[in-house]
Amino acid sequence: MSVARLGGERRKWARLPLAIPVFVRSRDGKGKEFLEFATALNVSAGGMLVAIRRTMPVVAQIQLEIPSAPVAALALLPRASRTLRAKALRTTPAEGYYLLGLKFSRPLLHPVGSNGFRVRKVASAV
């Protein structure tokens, strides 16, 4: 077990301090759909922290889209996720905006165990 885990760190993946523009699509507290341009402040394989102008209800379902320039030879590039689904875990007010903690519906990577190998599901719960 790592020192970070013993000290109370529960994250499976390291956070990268990257400022990434992102479109946030969801529904407000009244159920009305909205689309807002926001900035991701840090990203991990399991989620991201986003600065957004509106408050979001906890457990709100969110769709994120990372804008990118059109690429002529798209077929030659590896497939990458530009649209991600997430759930709001927390909203913290800041000066003029809110910090939205998100958990991706499906992690971008598989967790790596202490032996360096990917953790695999042994059996189905069903």
| Tens of pLDDT, residue by residue, the chain (126 residues) | 444 445 566 667 889 999 999 999 998 878 889 999 999 999 999 999 999 998 888 778 999 998 876 665 555 655 555 889 999 999 999 999 999 999 999 988 876 554 454 555 555 555
Q: Is the pTM of this model over 0.75?
A: no
**Topology adopted by domain 3-69+82-104:** Thrombin, subunit H (2.40.10)
What are the CB-based long-range contacts (under 8 Å, 24+) for 96-99? 96/53, 97/51, 97/52, 97/53, 98/51, 98/52, 98/53, 98/54, 98/55, 98/56, 99/41, 99/49, 99/50, 99/51
